[in-house]
Structure 1
Amino acid sequence: MSQSPPTLGAILARRITFFAIFAMLLQLALVFSDYYWNVGELSRLFVEQETERLAAGIAVEGASVRYRLPDTVQQRYRKDETGYVARIRAADGTLVFQSCDAACEDRFLPKDVNPPDFWLRSLAPGKPLSLVGGQAFVIGTQRFLVDIATIGDPADVMSDVLWNEIIGHLIVPMSILLVLVLGGTLLSVRQALRPVRAAADAADQVDPMDSRSHLNFDQMPREVAHLAAAVNRAFERVGALMRSQKVLTSGIAHEIRTPLAALQLELAQIDHPRARRAEADLEDLVNFVAQITALARLESVDHGMFEEVDLVELSSSVVAQLTPWVYENNHSLGFFSQVESSMLRGAPSLLRDALRNLIENAVRHTVDRTAVIVRVGNGIIAVEDRSPEILPRNETVSGSSDSLGIGLKIIERIVEIHQATFSKSRSNSGHIFELDFR
């Protein structure tokens, strides 16, 4: 089962996401290696983050200070012998919190020393980390100094430090950048392809038989506009081909009709029964050539010639033009209109040819004294032939539908050009041919 190809937006989204993730992984490896092997930077980050966690438990209410050990550090600082110790003092030296005895305080700054905002001292080189340090915080209007120390980092707080740095300085900004770049790219592609999508919808409605058909590429990107311009040039070549074919068919009609007319004039000068039979055969040949030429001309019809046509007026003019010829062939012709006017967009000359062919077929392929009725309704033209004798349903009036030949082919092609329907039905006395332009 064939699958539809992915959209340009889906292709760009997948590729941008792939390269963004690849870039994040590469940057992750670089950041991890840079921080992991830089013990001094790791120690500084360790003190900053651990003291911030401890300082989060300080609550200042007026002149009183309360402290509650945060849940994130309770396992490390509420018990002895965990490998971590901490001390929190106010600016005047008042002890707020302490998780070690007097012996471990020897590692911290003395109480009589004015503490700096940040301090750090390494107790042992390399990893795992062994250090002591502190950081000052201003909470409310009071200043507090938070000191910590660890020997060997048994809880592997260093991994949390690395992970926090990766989240804060890599994953979060890269994710925001990915969303913005991806969203901006997809929005830009959507806006750039909007005129292309409109041109594609217009291309579905393009009429290849209309030389005025073209695609508007004013708002398209240059690369896509080049394709649309090529399509327009193809339409121009089709239009030129249609015009040349129209000239060719007109030339053929002229070249054939002229010698046939000369033959008719010569035969008219001969007083012999064979000459009369030859004239009848020659007239059939003239009609056949005219129909072949008309059928060929239909293949080069330009829909640009369409205009507003009144079916009532057009049908009445065709009936008036053919009435003498119909009576000469021992038939009668009637016209009935159910509406005052019926407007549609089409080619008047082609519609006249279609109706004329229907009437001529009705005359040529029916018995003498057949009544031919032309009815016009709302977007409908019907031609009915009524034989003077009512025939059984299983009999035909005269000949078969195949005997109508090229005349019906011309009518079907005209109907197709006008996007109409052509139907044939039987009645007790003949046939009904209907052209429906609704």
Structure 2
Amino acid sequence: MGVRIVLFAGLAMLAQLVAVLWEYGRDPENLGRLMLEQETTALAGGLRENGTRLAYELPTGLASRYDVAGSGYVARVRTANGVVLFSHCDAACADHFLPLDVNPPSFWLRHIAPGYPMSIAGGRTVQIGDRAVFIEIAIAGDPRAAVWGVLFDEALEHMLVPMSLTVIFVLGATLLSIRAALRPVVRAAHKAETLDPLRSDARLDDAGMPREIAQLTGAVNRSFDRIRELMAAQKLFTSAIAHEIRTPLAVIRLELEGIDDVRARRAMGEVDELTRLLQQLVTLARLEATDRATFTPMGLDDMLGEVVGSLAPWVYAHGATIAFEPSGNARVIAHVGLLKDAVRNLVENAVRHGGPGVAVLVGTEPGPCVTVMDDGKGYRLAGTEGYYAPEGGVGIGLEIVSRIAALHGGDFTLTANEPRGTKALLRLPPAAAPSTPDPA
């Protein structure tokens, strides 16, 4: 943006320069007067006072014009009483200069030929101390293009310098103002990079922003609100579906319990698996609507002890064993219900797919990490990276665990547990240590 502003400012200066040159070019009368003033001023630079006498030496820069025969430029420098101090004359002097016995005026100018190239004759009086000196020049056709020097000096003095100062101050003020106005936008952009749409309080602050940017920020906040509304609607929708399907399944199971037949027992098992699959699908759908603002500090060992205690009867009823090894009770910021669901899924998967008599060990490791190990027959993982499908199942339970880990900013991995079995590792970010208050 700053480059474009500087570029347009430069183009504006160029356009103004062209306009000035065009205006001067349309007025040869004024340009001739300026040319006479510039040439006589330059010639006056050779005047010197030598005691009571005046002396003259042609300036070096003018030698190519006023010290070369036939150059098209002639000049004469004399005192008011007719004493000639310098003369570079030809027939043009007699044709265009005032006679030496004429008392010279302070300024006179005559155009020898109208228009361009410039052809003028004239003179003016300059003061050296208390003495008057009259400088006369005649230019025929301006072969050395002295007029461009006049145009350059006029543009430099009356336009380039004042306009450059103006442009510098205006550009500086504009760039500083834009930077100050966009500072809240930069802060909002940095915040947007870390904004969590799953938090109910996730919003961009539009305080101090320009009106147009504040409107954009408001639109972004409204978009987040709509996303949260859609997530809430999805959660309500899945809950309604689960309720509508769970009730018929419960009725079917009750009917099957009253039938004394092997096929009925197998059908009851299928209904139980279908009910569990339904619950997993509902849990998976609800994960995306979780509000991270509800996450709270908790101790891993405290949570794991509760889960193992509640699952122990179910584990023993299925012919397996379960144990819990607490360590340092590491603190994490988490959703207690979701972490319990994750551990419950891991334990249930180990019992269901580990084989008869499988032993499950739940514990923690530094990191902090939750580990669920078994000595069963292990998993044969299938599908794409990050998706787990154990033998005899579709892997939804493990996918739920993976989603819960990602929701907490952690990760989930499955590895072989030597010499036999599987080790599930749920890694979580540690809770920030509380700041120590200053004793002062």
Structure 2 match to 1:126: 114
1:376 CA displacement = 0.8
Percent identical among aligned pairs is 34
Q: Which one of the candidate residues 6, 26, 30 is aligned to 2:23? A: 30
Which deviates more, 261-270 or 364-373? 261-270
Distance in 1 of aligned mates of 2:286 and 2:178: 45
8 A Cα contact 1:361 1:404, kept in partner: no
Structure 1 match to 2:222: 233
8 A Cα contact 1:309 1:344, kept in partner: yes
8 A Cα contact 1:80 1:99, kept in partner: no
Pairing 1:329–2:287 present: no
Q: Give the residue type in structure 1 aligned to 2:26.
A: S
8 A Cα contact 1:24 1:174, kept in partner: no
8 A Cα contact 1:373 1:383, kept in partner: yes
C-alpha distance 143-315 of structure 1, shift in aligned 2 (>3 A): farther
Aligned residue pairs total 414
Structure 1 match to 2:66: 77
Pairing 1:21–2:14 present: yes
Structure 2 match to 1:371: 359
C-alpha distance 154-207 of structure 1, shift in aligned 2 (>3 A): closer
> Which runs of no fewer than 5 residues in structure 2 stay unpaired?
382-388, 430-440
Structure 1 match to 2:348: 360
C-alpha distance 49-364 of structure 1, shift in aligned 2 (>3 A): same
C-alpha distance 270-186 of structure 1, shift in aligned 2 (>3 A): same
SS at match of 2:420: coil
Distance in 2 of aligned mates of 1:31 and 1:47: 15
C-alpha distance 393-432 of structure 1, shift in aligned 2 (>3 A): closer
Q: Which one of the candidate residues 17, 28, 34 is aligned to 1:45? A: 34
Structure 1 match to 2:294: 305
Distance in 2 of aligned mates of 1:311 and 1:425: 21
Distance in 1 of aligned mates of 2:379 and 2:291: 42
1:65 CA displacement = 6.5
Which deviates more, 245-254 or 293-302? 245-254
Structure 2 match to 1:432: 423
Q: Which one of the candidate residues 282, 294, 300 is aligned to 1:293? A: 282
8 A Cα contact 2:75 2:87, kept in partner: yes
1:290 CA displacement = 1.1
SS at match of 2:220: helix
Instruction: List aligned pairs for 1:160-309, cutoff 5 A.
Output: 160-265=149-254, 267-268=256-257, 273=262, 275-309=264-298
Q: Deviations over 1:184-221 (max 9, x none)?
A: 44444343333333333333322233332222222322
1:334 CA displacement = 1.6
> Which runs of no fewer than 5 residues in structure 1 stay unpaired?
1-7
Distance in 2 of aligned mates of 1:392 and 1:407: 15
Distance in 1 of aligned mates of 2:111 and 2:253: 126
SS at match of 1:99: strand
1:236 CA displacement = 0.9
Distance in 2 of aligned mates of 1:304 and 1:60: 92
TM-score with structure 1 setting the length: 0.80
1:258 CA displacement = 3.5
C-alpha distance 129-317 of structure 1, shift in aligned 2 (>3 A): same
SS at match of 1:147: strand
Which deviates more, 400-409 or 344-353? 400-409
Q: Deviations over 1:272-310 (max 9, x none)?
A: 555544433332222122111111211322222222232
